[in-house]
Amino acid sequence: MRARGRAVRLVVAAALLATLAAACGSSGPADGADAPVKVITTTTIFADMVRQVGGDRVSVESLVPKGGEVHTFDPTPGDIRRITEAKLAFRNGLGLDDWLAALIEDAGTSAPLVELGTDLPGVTPLAGAEGSGEAVNPHLWMDVAYGSLYAQRIATELARVDPAGAATYRDNLAAYEARLSALDGYARTQLDAIPAANRTVVSFHDAFPYFARAYGLTIDGTIVDAPGQDPSAGGVAALVATIRAKGVKAIFAEAQFNPDLAQTIATETGATVVANLYTDSVGDPPQDTYESMMRWNVDQVVAALKG
């Protein structure tokens, strides 16, 4: 961790020098009153949520690129430049992307840093997986109803830094919440059709507990404790035994991870691998929004488990 901290600070120093040099050589005008509010987020999912709520009044970028890994992200000088220019920053918190706080502090920006996943009203967080290093599981947005709570917090914070756009954010939020409510209803209707005997699954990493809790599935194991870690031979053998004993029907593997290990386990157990799900990142069009990726996830899960 100390080595990573030193590396991050070297990136910050290089980026700040580059930003200062660019500013000294620039003769262009400063942002005007009508310029979009510059926002940064840690993931493409949160960037899409900001875009849906903010509309044309925001310019939003995700630090972690599409298909990137938020758990193990390392910044570049270009990322630090984006941080110094931002008026507002969003992260999930709960141990998923806590690295953003250090970057903001080292960059010297005064942009407010908002955590989308902490202290959500009416939400009881689930415990993090043993060995993940997370006290609670951070993937709350995998329950679409919680995703709507993220959108509410985004609208509140955008209005705080841009009061003139409050009505726009309120109207956009109302339309977005209506679509998310319909999506949540769709997910419940589709997943309710899965036979009870088929509702037990295993996931590549611990990204699906809120999805399972919301939509009536049971997670009976994970392949890795956290992205970037390799399971032990004993851990894989124990997981294979669990899959056989509990009749696990499917292994959920995400599009950004290599599916080979999941496929090997599936070959030994007869489970089906669903290898094209999205959790920490949106995908390519048409799965390039939070709404479309969650609908895609629902459809793939139903196709694998409905039997």
Q: Could you check whether the bond before residue 286 is cis, i.e. omega within 30 degrees of 0?
A: yes
The separation between CA 201 and the C-alpha centre of its own chain, rounded to angstroms, equals: 21
Above 80 in pLDDT, residue 5?
no
Selection from 257, 261, 254 nearest residue 211 by Cα:
254
Q: Collapsing DSSP states into helix, strand and coil, what is residue 222?
A: strand
Tokens of 133: 């290093």
Above 60 in pLDDT, residue 29?
no
Q: Collapsing DSSP states into helix, strand and coil, what is residue 90?
A: strand
State residue 233's pLDDT score.
Answer: 92
Above 60 in pLDDT, residue 32?
no
Does 227 or 269 have the greater pLDDT score? Answer: 269
What are the two backbone dihedrals, phi and then psi, of residue 173, each rounded to the nearest 5 degrees? -65, -45
State residue 135's pLDDT score.
Answer: 86
Does 74 or 140 have the greater pLDDT score? Answer: 140
Which whole number is the average pLDDT over 62-77? 89
Tallying the residues shown for the chain, one arrives at: 307
Instruction: Dump pLDDT digits (tens) for 192-233.
Output: 999 999 999 999 989 999 999 999 999 999 998 877 788 889
Q: Which amino acid is at 142?
A: M
Instruction: Dump pLDDT digits (tens) for 272-299.
Output: 999 899 999 999 999 999 999 999 999 9
State residue 66's pLDDT score.
Answer: 95
State residue 132's pLDDT score.
Answer: 63
State residue 271's pLDDT score.
Answer: 94
Above 80 in pLDDT, residue 12?
no
Q: What percent of the chain has pLDDT over 90?
A: 73
Residue in the structure block whose two tokens are 């290093």: 133
Mean pLDDT, rounded, of the chain: 88
What beta strand segments (E) does the chain contain? 37-41, 58-62, 88-91, 113-115, 200-203, 218-222, 250-254, 272-277
Above 80 in pLDDT, residue 14?
no
Q: Radius of gyration over alpha carbons of the chain, in Å?
A: 21
CB 226 within 8 A of CB 205: yes
Q: Which domains does the chain have, with CATH numbers?
A: 2-184 (3.40.50.1980), 194-305 (3.40.50.1980)
Instruction: Dump pLDDT digits (tens) for 104-158.
Output: 988 888 899 999 999 999 999 999 877 666 789 999 999 999 999 999 999 999 9
Tokens of 274: 């669903």
Q: CB count, 10 Å around CB of 73?
A: 17
Measured CA to CA, the distance from residue 142 to residue 297 in angstroms comes to: 10
11-15, 91-95, 222-226: least confidently modelled range = 11-15
Does 11 or 167 have the greater pLDDT score? Answer: 167
State residue 75's pLDDT score.
Answer: 84
State residue 28's pLDDT score.
Answer: 36
Measured CA to CA, the distance from residue 181 to residue 178 in angstroms comes to: 5
State residue 133's pLDDT score.
Answer: 67
Q: CB count, 10 Å around CB of 167?
A: 10
